């Protein structure tokens, strides 16, 4: 997964497929995932990593493809009844109405052309079409200029694991040898600054913040000034958790975005939204609102190991056409994984 395109002489950091070492202590604040794996690593290591991914998606695989296998078992033709039951499986897996219809239309088109008669081939068709829906191209965005920090603004409602996700992403950058600054812009929630500070200490990142109730735009401005003067590689900006329906708070988020851009032209270079997979279709509503307010460049989908409705990943990709950057499949540090569409589909289908 390429976070942004850059010329060879650019110093700007990227998120590389580096597997972080497993934390010695469980992270109980939230769950998240890690990026795709480095092809240079030993094959047995990559198999082990994929095994953990597959294990994290056990509930989704059982509820989704497990039910599809049961439905198709022993069937010799595709009937109207089979299609009705398939529709129910897709919809109840939180793929969503629109995406379910997209998949069913693809099946119907093949049937109309007499290219699909055998139910055993239907699963393969669904697999390939779902892969195409998940494989979204990165949002084009100018990278930082040489010597300037890459700024990633992270948003999300309370309870999705946003601050924990930031800490885990910071750890990945540190594993790449980057200098990282965390910005405590969530000044409304009690102990949010303290939580981010703990993560900064844990991963070795600088934390810039003020007290609870401070102006988040002022915090962002001070942090950008410090990051530029210290030649920091990556700046991760935490923001106040808010409901996507709270217009005044969304406007405050837009103000933080503008302040960052005024201090450093072109920043923030990435705007990521953290979503809780267990909230189902509400996650899509959240993403739509944040997309309209900020223009998202990526999604981080947490807690996939805690839901049987992991089809939400498919629905988000299809409906919003925003690439999923990371998925969360557990509580350990290295359970925040860079999203790889092919591996995700393999984990739930194969």
Count: domains in the chain? 2
**Does one domain contain both 183 and 125?**
no
**Does one domain contain both 262 and 127?**
no
**Does one domain contain both 214 and 285?**
yes
Q: Which of 247, 269, 296 is the last residue of a domain?
A: 296
**Mean pLDDT, to the nearest integer, of 283-291?**
91
**Does one domain contain both 190 and 107?**
no
Identify whether 145 is part of a domain: no
**Mean pLDDT, to the nearest integer, of 276-290?**
91
The model's pLDDT over 37-90, given as tens digits with 9 standing for 90+, comes to 444 455 655 667 789 899 999 999 999 999 999 999 989 899 999 999 999 999
Q: Which residue has the tokens 């056409």?
A: 321
**Does one domain contain both 111 and 226?**
no
Identify whether 319 is part of a domain: no
Residue 259 corresponds to which tokens in the numbers above?
A: 């302040």
The model's pLDDT over 207-251, given as tens digits with 9 standing for 90+, comes to 999 878 899 999 999 999 999 999 999 999 999 876 656 678 888
> 209-215 long-range CB contacts below 8 Å, 24 or more apart?
209/183, 209/184, 210/184, 211/187, 212/187, 212/188, 213/187, 213/188, 214/187, 215/187
Q: Which of 134, 167, 192 is the last residue of a domain?
A: 134
The whole domain housing 89 covers 59-134
* pTM as predicted: 0.84
Q: Which of 99, 134, 169 is the last residue of a domain?
A: 134
**Does one domain contain both 238 and 203?**
yes
Residue 182 corresponds to which tokens in the numbers above?
A: 């965390």
For residue 109, count other CB atoms closer than 10 A to its CB.
Answer: 11
């Amino acid at each position: 997964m390429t976070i942004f395109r850059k010329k060879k002489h650019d110093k700007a950091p990227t998120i590389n497929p580096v597997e972080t070492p497993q934390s010695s202590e469980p992270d109980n604040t939230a769950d998240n995932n890690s990026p795709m794996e480095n092809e240079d690593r030993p094959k047995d290591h990559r198999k082990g990593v994929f095994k953990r991914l597959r294990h994290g998606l056990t509930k989704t695989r059982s509820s989704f493809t497990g039910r599809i296998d049961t439905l198709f078992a022993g069937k010799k033709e595709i009937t109207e009844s089979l299609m009705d039951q398939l529709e129910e499986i897709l919809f109840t897996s939180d793929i969503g109405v629109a995406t379910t219809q997209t998949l069913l239309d693809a099946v119907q088109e093949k049937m109309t052309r007499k290219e699909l008669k055998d139910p055993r081939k239907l699963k393969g068709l669904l697999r390939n079409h779902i892969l195409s829906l998940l494989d979204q191209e990165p949002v084009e965005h100018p990278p930082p200029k040489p010597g300037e920090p890459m700024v990633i603004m992270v948003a999300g409602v309370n309870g999705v694991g946003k601050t924990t996700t930031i800490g885990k992403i910071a750890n990945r950058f540190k594993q790449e040898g980057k200098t990282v600054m965390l910005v405590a812009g969530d000044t409304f929630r009690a102990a949010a600054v303290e939580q981010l500070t703990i993560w900064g200490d844990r991963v070795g990142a600088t934390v810039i913040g003020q007290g609870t109730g401070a102006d988040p735009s002022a915090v962002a401005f001070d942090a950008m000034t410090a990051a530029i003067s210290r030649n920091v590689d990556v700046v991760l900006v935490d923001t106040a958790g808010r409901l996507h329906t709270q217009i005044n708070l969304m406007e405050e988020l837009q103000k933080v975005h503008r302040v960052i851009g005024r201090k450093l032209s072109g920043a923030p270079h990435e705007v990521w939204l953290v979503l809780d997979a267990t909230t189902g279709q509400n996650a899509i509503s959240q993403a739509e609102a944040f997309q309209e307010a900020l223009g998202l460049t990526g999604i981080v989908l947490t807690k996939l190991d805690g839901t049987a409705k992991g089809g939400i990943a498919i629905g988000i990709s299809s409906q919003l056409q925003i690439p999923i950057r990371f998925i969360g499949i557990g509580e350990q540090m290295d359970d925040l994984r860079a999203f790889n569409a092919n591996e995700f589909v393999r984990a739930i289908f194969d």
